[in-house]
Structure 1
Amino acid sequence: MVNCATGLHSRTLTITNKCTYTVWPAVLSAAGSSPLPTTGFALLPGNSNTLPVPPAWSGRLWGRTLCSIDITGKFSCVTGDCGKSTVECAGANPTPPITLVELDFNGTSQMNLYDVSLVEGFNLAVRVAPTDGKCLATGCLADLNAACPTELKVIRDEEAVACKNTCQTEPCLSSQFFKTACSDAHDHAFFTCSSSHYTVTFCPTSKSWRKAEKKKEASGRNVVKYTGVLAVISVICGFIIFRIRLRLSNRDWEISLSAGTRADCTIAPNT
């Protein structure tokens, strides 16, 4: 779609949450870029939000987890917090560790740049995909929190909720861990595409999400299976009833025939 007033292609960014918990996406526009209309909101499991992207926009996007508001009205998150005490980050950078999405939608050409980076650690599995089927998707699809080395884990209520990247020089423990787990994100390589629409998905391969989807599919298959079984049982029962009726009918006929034969065989007295 072309904006005739500016001669630039309009772009959209859809953010989808496939995690089993709420995620608060946050967006930080780069210097000189017009801000997105919404830069802080909550996404419930399974929900999406599509944002229009201004021309020549570039910025960073990440997901915040385990967020809450205290009795004073202060908003905070265990991972990805901006330190602003509000849902809107208002131009503030996130507190690592976070899985970082970087986007550069150049307004002077049709070629856009996108990547997923683990330079600042990891807190959520993320995938970035253009809707143009000719372009490649990228991201870190695995949940690295559980596998994160003990000394790099961020623990909340005895559960790993993020994984730190402590590397200042190469190589180091976190560098090797992230490189092995998610080479695309570790290498910090930008992908290019001319598509006008992009989707950022949190927890794109969540086991819990897949389990729920499979449960729905299994439920549908069970309905079909049980319907088929009932149909077979119905046919069998109908056949049994038919045989019973047929046998009863033949028996009645045999009784009637026998009675008729006895009547015909009666010898009349001599006259």
Structure 2
Amino acid sequence: MCYLQTENNKAAAAVPGGGMQLNTGQTWTINPPEDTQGARVWARTGCNFDGSGNDHCETGDCNGILQCQGYGAPPNTLAEYGLNQFNNLDFFDISLIDGFNVLMDFSPTSGCARGICCTTDINGQCPNKLKAPDGCNNLCTVFKTDEYCCNSGNYGPTNYSKFFKDRCPDAYSYPKDD
């Protein structure tokens, strides 16, 4: 079970789960199936959905609709999880591989594991080359090279991925950041 909370002019999104406009103080509870794999949760910013659930968000956009059918567009801070996976264990992480748009604290409700967080305002410190409206872009979106997109070869951290890791040590900062 995940609880999401955002500020005004923001919306929450999840796969599986869809999406929801949230005003300050509102919470959205997601109850995914017990064997969920490859799930993501993120906030979208700069949204103001109409009565039909249509609008473009500055960050984390889902093709202009409230009820996400796929992953959101970068930049977005991601919480990722899988339930009942290897040895029936649950796995979760925060990822900045798709960039950063909001602070995040992602914790299990069972109390059996420590939560993870990214609570540094990366938007305010974002390098000029990565700046985006309401966010800090991911490296691949900006540079579009194998070095930053991890499309082939032996990929490792870069100065830009280290920028993210230094500010949010709990979060993935590049695709092979295990």
The answer for the alignment partner of 2:30 in structure 1 is 51
1:75 to 55, 61, 83: 55
Displacement after TM superposition at 1:165 (Å): 2.2
Residues 1:13 and 2:2 are matched in the alignment: yes
1: distance between equivalents of 2:85 and 2:163?
37
CA-CA distance at 1:108 after TM superposition: 8.5
Q: Percent identity?
A: 32
Q: Which has the larger radius of gyration?
A: 1
CA deviation string 1:38-68 (max 9, x = no partner): x111111122121222121131111101013
Aligned to 2:106, the other structure's residue is in SS state: strand
**Which runs of no fewer than 5 residues in structure 2 stay unpaired?**
140-147, 150-154
Measured in 1, the distance between the counterparts of 2:165 and 2:31 equals 33
Specify the alignment match of 1:222 in structure 2. none
SS of corresponding position for 2:3: strand
Residue aligning to 1:137: 115
Alpha-carbon offset, residue 96 of structure 1: 0.8
Q: What corresponds to 2:106 in structure 1? A: 128
- Aligned to 1:146, the other structure's residue is in SS state helix
Give SS of 2:28's match: strand
Letter in structure 2 aligned against 1:165: N
The amino acid that maps onto 2:163 is F
C-alpha distance after superposition, 1:67-105 (max 9, x if no partner)? 1347x984110100111x321122x22111111111101
- Structure 1 residues not aligned, in runs of 5+: 1-11, 30-35, 156-160, 190-271
SS in 2 for 1:94: coil
Verify: 1:181 aligned to 2:167, yes or no: yes
Amino acid at match of 1:82: C
1:172 counterpart = 2:158: yes
